[in-house]
Amino acid sequence: MENESQHTSAMPRDFTFQLLKQITNDFSEDNRIGVGGYGLVYKGTLDSGEVIAVKKLYYKHPGLDSDKQFQNECTNLMRVRHQNIVRLVGYCHEIRHKCVEHNGKYVFAMVEDRALCFEYLEGGSLDKHLSDESCGFGWHARYKIIKGICEGLNYLHNGSKESIFHLDLKPANILLDRNMMPKIGDFGLSRLFDSTETCSTKGIIGTPGYMPPEYINRFHITPKFDVFSLGVTIIKIMAGHQGYSKLADMSSQEFIQLVHEKWEKALQTTVLSHTSHGVKKCIEIALRCVEADRVKRPTIAEVVDELSKIDTAIIDELNEIDTARSSPIEQVTNLRSNQAFNPCVNSGMFSKGGGKDGKMISSCSSQAIRASSDSVLLSVDIKCQILPSASVKIFSYDNLRLATRKFRANTLLGEGGFGRVYKGWIDENTLSPCKPGTGIIVAVKRLSQESLQGHQEWLAAEVNYLGHLSHPNLVKLFGYCLEDEHQLLVYEFIPRGSLDNHLYRRGPCQPLSWNLRMKVALGAAKALAYLHCAETNIIFRDFGSSHILLDRDYTAKLAGFGLAVNGPVGEESHLTTRVVGTHGYAAPEYIATGHLTQKCDIYCFGVLLLEMLSGLRVLDPNRPAGEQHLVDCARPYLEHKHKIRCVIDANLGGIYSFSAAQKIAALALECVCLDPKKRPTMDAAVSVLEGVQEDEEPEAAEHQESGKKVTASASRKNGKSRWNIFGGGRS
């Protein structure tokens, strides 16, 4: 095993935070080279001349277990030395006191400064190089990358007494040096295990699309978790993102042939026998790695052994081929703007298809990476466009500061990974700031600079969709502010908060009655039906109870359009996208293939109906094995009419219409059907819910079966829910 590398044997250094500030120019934007879920990455140069990458972890805020991430990444990387694993140069963990303003007073607060320092890798992350047409990587370069990833993962699993499971292996976490040598990085989710044990987690980890079925369904972790992620990664290296999306529509042999023909075309000649063998072998290995049954997946040691048996001629040619060659910069011509965010003549909102040729662009933001003596790789970064709208105002930062009383603590409505939301007051006609208690109340979302969602694409989608759509069940966007580092969105104020707060009784929110639940479900259904209609053709993609807000009259308002996309048009049956959204709501076919259709939203709606029926969380690792996901937990009861009462939320106190509950249960089952073609349309769902509204008055529903009383109760210790089914022998 190649566990000795070119790395220095020196232990990682304990850097002072002051030194890291100096070498990164006070963590300036000019030195920033990356952003992640737990921190920003900056380039710095030590006195020795060594260039390093400094990951400055975010200060603690809700939603991020950054202490655990820091400890995992630091301690696990200290244990390893391998040429295919990124080298930890040093770390910083300092606690200091800082004088800050709090509720109008100045107080001393404890501040933790944490950073991790890595070797700087000129090639950047692998995902930035992969594309469906050409990334400058030939077969030999890709084989070298695949082999290096496998050897690095094999070292993690088998290089010491305690195995390290990475748990987030993907192209974005694989870095390339100047010679395109791959190095596995980002160990924030990694864990130490005995290589033979099966473990479980109490929360979702990893990246959708790279997580194996046994983890999605039961939270089980074994070495085969990483093997599954490896298989997805190899397929994307070999076939590209679009090629990977075709896997679900064909047999293994058809897919192997498709990839083989792709490489024949790419090489513009009949591939040599050893190259042909290598292409097929890599795809065969990858397909075995992504087997749904983890027992059928190979171990990483077996994968490395199979790669070593590939014709030695491939290895010999690796030393002769100049890798990662692309066109000289003077030959890169005819760059065109992507029209995905440009106005469509018919709708005035979006073009219905992405990637159309637009006007020639005169300049672009680009990054050149030196790959060989006479070529560079060019990556183009075109900023997303916010479209003008007569219904959306551009606010000044000063006016929003006045409207929220300088963002005082007593105007804070809530906060999350994106930043904070404040209450503000503006004039109903001029939309200028006014005194509290006058005008209209608005919710001002102030995105943090270190925001997980504060990216331009997310913000542009939010503004462009809500700025051009109007429906009683959609939240109203008054406007936005983009000034220097300030990014703010201004919405109508929805006084009763989000639906999930009522279902799980957070804060002062009270549980909803049956009639109110049906009203909310109908309003949410109408919002989705409006988005799905032919005139708009929008897939929401992140539908769930946290994105449904309730006004004073409990009218549902759909919010959070940052991940919405235009649906397929013409002969297209689906879109192919990276898997994003909220854990637990995503449709199985979307997780598996990245194929996105309106039926994915309908699956989400079915999950929402189950939430509203049961009052239970979509994902709860404290439920018994096989029942952590609400769909798996509820399906056996909903499939039998006499068991439906077992899943009804105990907070209803038995006050509900049983006939209506049967109809809602049947609709929910249709919506979460594994076959997308068998799911109803949202118009059909609206019709069912409108019929329920006309149903009989709620009644006290008690049920006697075989002399046993079957009821459902919810135990919400520490805000978590579970069922206790008395008489049924389960808890």
Three-state secondary structure call for residue 162: coil
Place of tokens 């000019």: 30
On the question of pLDDT at 716 being above 70, the answer is no
The pLDDT score that the predictor gives to residue 493 is 94
Three-state secondary structure call for residue 86: coil
> Residue 79: pLDDT band by 50, 70, 90 thresholds?
confident
The pLDDT score that the predictor gives to residue 387 is 60
Q: pLDDT tens digits, residue range 396-424?
A: 999 999 999 999 988 998 876 577 899 99
Question: Residue ranges of the alpha helices (H) in 159-296?
Answer: 213-218, 223-245, 252-267, 273-289
What's the mean pLDDT when you consider all of the chain?
A: 76
Higher confidence at residue 206 or residue 283?
283
Higher confidence at residue 287 or residue 355?
287
Cβ–Cβ < 8 Å for 541, 600: yes
**End-to-end CA gap in the chain:** 49
Q: Which amino acid is at 245?
A: S
Among residues of the chain, what percentage have pLDDT more than 70? 69
Q: Which of 178-182, 194-198, 421-425, 526-530 has the lowest mean pLDDT?
A: 194-198
The pLDDT score that the predictor gives to residue 276 is 64
Q: Which of 145-159, 330-344, 398-412 has the lowest mean pLDDT?
A: 330-344
The pLDDT score that the predictor gives to residue 693 is 84
Q: Which of 59-73, 113-127, 156-170, 317-331 has the lowest mean pLDDT?
A: 317-331
Which whole-number Å values give the CA distances from 693 to 471, 500, 647, in the listed order? Answer: 20, 22, 21
User: How far is 634 from 646, CA to CA, in rounded Å?
Assistant: 9
On the question of pLDDT at 101 being above 80, the answer is no
User: How far is 357 from 341, CA to CA, in rounded Å?
Assistant: 12
User: How far is 568 from 14, CA to CA, in rounded Å?
Assistant: 52
Higher confidence at residue 728 or residue 86?
86
The domain segmentation of the chain, as residue ranges, is: 12-120, 124-325, 332-353+364-381, 393-492, 505-725
Average pLDDT over residues 126-133: 69
User: How far is 488 from 478, CA to CA, in rounded Å?
Assistant: 11
> Residue 731: pLDDT band by 50, 70, 90 thresholds?
very low
Among residues of the chain, what percentage have pLDDT more than 90? 31
| Burial class of residue 585 in the structure, from the number of CB atoms within 10 Å of its CB (0-12 exposed, 13-18 middle, 19+ buried) | buried
> Do 124-325 and 505-725 share a fold?
yes
pTM for this entry: 0.52
Q: Looking at domain 505-725, which of 3.40.50.1110, 1.10.510.10, 3.40.50.2300, 1.10.1060.10 is its CATH number?
A: 1.10.510.10
Tokens linked to 272: 């040599």
User: How far is 168 from 237, CA to CA, in rounded Å?
Assistant: 16
Those residues with Cβ within 8 angstroms of residue 196's Cβ, 6 or more apart along the chain or in another chain? none
> Residue 253: pLDDT band by 50, 70, 90 thresholds?
low
Three-state secondary structure call for residue 519: helix
On the question of pLDDT at 202 being above 90, the answer is no
Cα 200 to chain centroid distance, Å, stands at: 21
Higher confidence at residue 727 or residue 577?
577
Cα 75 to chain centroid distance, Å, stands at: 26
Average pLDDT over residues 612-623: 88
Three-state secondary structure call for residue 220: strand
Topology of domain 124-325, per CATH? Transferase(Phosphotransferase); domain 1 (1.10.510)
Average pLDDT over residues 218-231: 88
Average pLDDT over residues 252-267: 63
On the question of pLDDT at 478 being above 70, the answer is yes
On the question of pLDDT at 610 being above 90, the answer is yes
Three-state secondary structure call for residue 632: helix
The pLDDT score that the predictor gives to residue 715 is 35
Three-state secondary structure call for residue 588: helix
Q: Which of 360-364, 519-523, 636-640, 685-689 has the lowest mean pLDDT?
A: 360-364
Catalytic site residues?
542
On the question of pLDDT at 330 being above 70, the answer is no
The pLDDT score that the predictor gives to residue 84 is 93
The pLDDT score that the predictor gives to residue 200 is 52
Average pLDDT over residues 680-692: 95
User: How far is 369 from 41, CA to CA, in rounded Å?
Assistant: 18
On the question of pLDDT at 282 being above 60, the answer is yes
On the question of pLDDT at 291 being above 80, the answer is yes
| Burial class of residue 273 in the structure, from the number of CB atoms within 10 Å of its CB (0-12 exposed, 13-18 middle, 19+ buried) | exposed
Instruction: State the angle between helix axes of 658-671 and 598-614 in degrees (0 to 180), rounded to the nearest 10.
Output: 150
Q: Which secondary-structure segment (H or E) carries 221?
A: strand 220-221
Q: pLDDT tens digits, residue range 356-383?
A: 333 333 333 333 322 232 222 233 333 4
The pLDDT score that the predictor gives to residue 449 is 66
User: How far is 241 from 401, CA to CA, in rounded Å?
Assistant: 43
The pLDDT score that the predictor gives to residue 345 is 27
> Residue 107: pLDDT band by 50, 70, 90 thresholds?
confident
Q: pLDDT tens digits, residue range 658-679?
A: 999 999 999 999 999 989 999 9
Which range, 147-151, 617-621, 637-641, 704-708, is most confident? 147-151
Those residues with Cβ within 8 angstroms of residue 275's Cβ, 6 or more apart along the chain or in another chain? 139, 263, 267, 314
Place of tokens 């250094």: 13
The residue among 673, 698, 697, 668 whose CA lies nearest residue 685 is 668
The pLDDT score that the predictor gives to residue 325 is 37
The pLDDT score that the predictor gives to residue 249 is 60
Q: At 516, phi and psi to the nearest 5?
A: -70, -35
On the question of pLDDT at 10 being above 70, the answer is no
Q: Which of 83-92, 336-345, 403-412, 430-439 has the lowest mean pLDDT?
A: 336-345
Q: Looking at domain 393-492, which of 3.30.200.20, 3.40.50.1220, 3.30.70.660, 3.40.50.300 is its CATH number?
A: 3.30.200.20
Q: pLDDT tens digits, residue range 554-576?
A: 999 999 888 888 888 766 767 76
- Apex CA 719: angle with CA 717 and CA 720, to 5°? 75
Question: Residue 472: how many CB atoms within 10 A of its CB?
Answer: 13
On the question of pLDDT at 720 being above 80, the answer is no
The residue among 286, 315, 262 whose CA lies nearest residue 169 is 286
The residue among 183, 248, 161 whose CA lies nearest residue 597 is 248
The residue among 653, 635, 636, 638 whose CA lies nearest residue 702 is 653
The pLDDT score that the predictor gives to residue 5 is 38
| Burial class of residue 283 in the structure, from the number of CB atoms within 10 Å of its CB (0-12 exposed, 13-18 middle, 19+ buried) | buried
User: How far is 210 from 244, CA to CA, in rounded Å?
Assistant: 12
The pLDDT score that the predictor gives to residue 704 is 35
> Residue 270: pLDDT band by 50, 70, 90 thresholds?
very low
User: How far is 32 from 20, CA to CA, in rounded Å?
Assistant: 13
Cα 484 to chain centroid distance, Å, stands at: 27
Three-state secondary structure call for residue 476: coil
Give me the CATH code for the 12-120 domain, please. Answer: 3.30.200.20
Q: Residues within the annotated binding site for ATP?
A: 56, 445
